[in-house]
């Protein structure tokens, strides 16, 4: 991910990939996961700002992933300030079960 950003941003390439000590390149899998998590949280914050106090609906879908684990996807649909209907992908998360109670608890946890 850092290498992708470095292709688009010379400063990142110079600071992180070219001039940083070998032990500080931020390319380990754990660092990459942490960076993705931080970016995902920032995107969700922007979506929350975009929705503000607007009425919205939640679209939820569940599916088995390749490892046979249940995954739930949450999409938010709302009307923006210009009157256009918008949809924003919000999150995918693993769930233990796909019954209504489990999904409802997971949705409340994500939107809290």
Domains, the chain: 1-49 (no CATH), 52-112 (3.10.450)
Q: Which two tokens stand for residue 106?
A: 């997971």
Measured between alpha carbons, how far is residue 67 from residues 30, 62, 63, 70 in Å? 21, 14, 11, 9
Distance CA 31, CA 25 (A): 10
pTM, two decimals, is 0.73
For the chain, the distance separating the N- and C-terminal CA atoms, rounded to the nearest angstrom, is 29
| Three-state DSSP state, 81 | coil
Measured between alpha carbons, how far is residue 68 from residues 10, 97, 105, 106 in Å? 41, 12, 21, 19
63 DSSP β-pair partners = 71
pLDDT at 23: 66
In the chain, the largest separation of any two C-alpha atoms, in whole Å, equals 52
Is residue 57's pLDDT more than 90? yes
Beta strands of 19-84 (E only): which ranges? 56-64, 70-79
Is residue 7's pLDDT more than 70? yes
Q: How confident is the model over 64-79, as pLDDT tens digits?
A: 989 999 999 999 999 9
């Amino acid at each position: 991910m850092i290498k992708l950003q470095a292709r688009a941003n010379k400063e990142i390439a110079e600071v992180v990939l070219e001039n940083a000590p070998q032990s500080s390149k931020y390319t380990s899998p754990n660092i990459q996961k942490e960076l993705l998590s931080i970016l995902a949280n920032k995107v969700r914050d922007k979506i929350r700002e975009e929705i503000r106090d607007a009425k919205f609906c939640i679209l939820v879908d569940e599916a088995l992933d390749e490892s046979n684990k249940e995954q739930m996807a949450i999409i938010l649909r709302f009307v923006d300030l210009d009157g256009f209907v918008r949809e924003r992908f919000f999150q995918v998360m693993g769930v233990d079960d796909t019954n209504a109670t489990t999904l409802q608890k997971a949705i409340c946890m994500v939107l809290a």
